[in-house]
Amino acid sequence: MINLLRDQSAPEIQFEAAWAITNLACGDYQYVKLLLEHQIMLHLMEVVVASKEMIVKDQCLWALFNISTEDEACRALIHNEKYVMAILALLGIYVDPPDAPIPAKKKIPPAANPSLSVMRHCAFIFCNIIK
């Protein structure tokens, strides 16, 4: 499933793989644990950053949200500077880390207009981070 998620040549298949992961991520903790053992958060974030399809980004964000609701340890995993910065950039918000030699706007191209659903899933993720 991870290989299908990472295949940029077939956005429809990427979406379906992300959807399956989203459903697994809201199931029993044993499924979430298995996903985490396969570094699913890293793979989902790679797709959020790299995909040109907003619907694929949205489904990956939904999966990340489901994982972040599981417990404190899962929230801590997504509370990672690179992940937070990528999600903010998706929303068109650029924040420079204190030690950044180049302003973020020059490093990350502006995001396409995010859909309402993408904005909602980003808000849900951030709400879980600050719990």
The span from the CA of 84 to the CA of 99, in Å, is 16
Task: Return the pLDDT at 75.
Answer: 85
CATH classification of the domain holding 44: 1.25.10.10
Indicate if the pLDDT at residue 14 is higher than 90. Answer: yes
Of residues 80, 81, 77, 60, the one with CA closest to residue 68 = 77
> 22: domain range?
2-129
Helix (H) or strand (E) holding 107: helix 104-107
For the whole prediction, is pTM greater than 0.75? yes
Highest mean pLDDT of the ranges 32-46, 64-78, 101-115: 32-46
Give how many domains the chain has, as a whole number: 1
- For residue 115, give both structure tokens: 């859909």
- For residue 97, give both structure tokens: 């880390």
Task: Return the pLDDT at 102.
Answer: 58
Contact between 38 and 75 (Cβ < 8 Å)? no
42-99 residue pLDDT tens:
999 999 999 999 999 999 999 999 998 888 888 888 888 888 888 888 888 877 666 6
Confidence of residue 114 (pLDDT cuts 50, 70, 90): confident
